[in-house]
Structure 1
């Protein structure tokens, strides 16, 4: 079972969960309810007979109204009725016959789709039209009915609900029901009466339907005054319903006492004039329903408990891998690049976990590759920088030495040559990336001595190196570019004083402060230089024209490349007060 679930896709699992948790409870509930209610079904159908009767009677009345309204508002039928009312039965018998034939043809097609309805059109000229035989009953007798005059005075929007009338038309089998339900409506053109249409429904079908209710139940139709219009017991038609004063509002029910027993009384409006009334014993009506409800409640509760467990299991099976994947992402975000989800499977989540872990493996491989490349790049850059010597600078120095040697031969020139040799030796030596601070200071002293050959001892170097910082290790050529930058830009190739302070901090970091007495830097220019160091500005040149061939940004990038965020490079300057650069370098290179 577990293997089959894992083989499904995520969509398949969701669909299976929906089918199991929604469709199966409904199917189980249906069969269980059907099992317990099969003995009560017939009785329940009988108790719902009011709805059937209500719908049937309402439909029949709607069809009767439809026929009457059709005579009023259908242009062709209205025209036929109007023409019949205008014709003289004595002078125009042929025309009357032709018009009635047209009316027959039109109405027969409409009335054929309904239950037997008896339609009579009473014309003002004393003539009539009927869809039934006039041998047994003369439709002209309807002119003498008391409701005929009332109907002829109504507007064309009104209908006279006559109610139960003695039946005047036999059924095709020759059996005549005692009553028919009758409606009447005036057919007018403006204020002029064209005809009175009378439609009647044989009550045989209603009698059969009403008789299907149980003996202890009462089912009947009354008008708004409580007079019985139709009942399965014919002798009650035309009498007053004894409980008419206790009828509830439409859509509601009331309990009344009949012979010491509670009865449920319901009234539903069939139209504005008639209503369907039902009265049945309350206990007998509600007992089966209450039993069914209790059984249904127990079944639904049991299904809910079972399928809630199934749903929780499926939900857990779906969400556990996703939760593990989220936890893996969180740990990777915190820096644990070696973390893996370990999620496997043949569905979408399993494939996602596998691809995600494989992507992490590739990223880790790429990171190590980038680290190695950066290390090689750093060493290659240092080697390149060490090999770069400004030919013009060497030419000027060598030319000065040559001129001094020509003019006089003393020990000073030998010192200059010695300084030049030491400086060249330091630049050419590529064995060590890190040197001690005192070696870097010696190289700076040689560089200053050579610069003073051109300036005439106007570039002064002051050193304040603490004893605990002399042997501290620094990257090769980390200070010389700063001194060269001060000489080229701070003094504009003129004289000045450069001071170097160095000491170890309490946390073991080496603190180096290089200050010059140059012209300084404006606030705007300083902000631009700081932005350029951070890689936010646009540096026109990343190298100065000095011995090393690298500028301040190169020094900053080397420090960040070697020590990352564990070092600092701070530049401060004011116009006329020189520039100060502070370096804080760890004594041991941080592990990557």
Structure 2
């Protein structure tokens, strides 16, 4: 036995699959027999269902024609001025009068003539006065058709069938239409929220309804059709229990009214003789021993693949720590050993790539951050010198303190990012220096969501945008240049879903050349005149995903440059940035 097991474990995978297929072919013959029985049974059941649904739709169409005729006649009657005046008079007069009764009779006849399903038509006012084509009536038989019992109904409602209160020898299904007068106007509307002024009651003859929705039995099955209104049966149902019936429904023209077909399962007539023959053949072909054998062999052959599947899942989740040792010396064993070796090689390479990428991020971020315009430094120092020469030591001292804080933030080594609040303060210091240099009085505002004040962004990322706002919005080379009364710059930061945005808005009169701005975003030089836009875009792409730039300009009102982006915590961005998305 041990020799057989060793021989089997040493077989190539192709030989194992060949042996398994030989056994499977034998069992497939029996499985095909079972499949044939199931297929024919399902096909027969499906055909029966199709025929049932077609019949049900045909019955529904026939019923809908009558319901549509009744509905159209109700609408036509309700819009007739004489009918509305008759309703008004019935509501005003506390008791029946001959004129009102005569007028109602002609409208009752019009509605009743619209369909042979209608037995009679009646009106009940909110004073519980009944207008009926019958002299002797009893509203206590079957459904209670008094106003108090109907007062909760809205729009159009169908009530379950019962003994006709106006013809005790017959049964009927009431359609109750709740109507209201529109103020003092000559119009009626369906009641939806208020108590109805009158109820128009149409009694459908139950026997006529049953004949309408049922016909002689099918050759395939026997059935019973009934009506449901909002799930409540209106007509008698099949006596069998739900487990012995198959039911189908289809909607009608009236909202909430459905036609339901109930088919007795015992009425199905499958090809019994054919099924028995197929079953006997299948029983001879399929044996319990074959099923057990195929199960054991399948599990035995696929166990190496199960081990490899487990390996792949653990590798995907990063939980694969100990190498799985192959059980057999066949192709699966060689494959498992190769996967172990490949996994360790990939992990080592990924660690190396991640370290190189992080070093690249730090280097590029530092390089782009420290690209300070030397002319700004020279000009600022020159202004400070002039303040000292002119004896304005206090102004010079303030400028030196502001300039020192500005340089401290800009040239701080080892920090790639800063918070929005710190970046805003950095821009305030820069603007203070520029106002002194250029003799301007530009105000700076912020529109930053409170929860984003500690949001980390690349250091000095907003400074080029503020510099552009001053240069293209307010800095002039001519004394005749047009200026605004209250020049201002606003720094914005928003979040919408998983998208973030930062930007700078100014109200300068020069505005932004949008075409040149978009060109500058894709150029490394500043020849377009928009300082550092490409620098800003590239730095944002080092830290964030899906970075997009948006430029708009209305000179003297709103000139805006905004960058939108999303955060990917798995990207490997510097610490403090990826944490925002967790």
TM-score category (smaller protein): 0.3 to 0.5
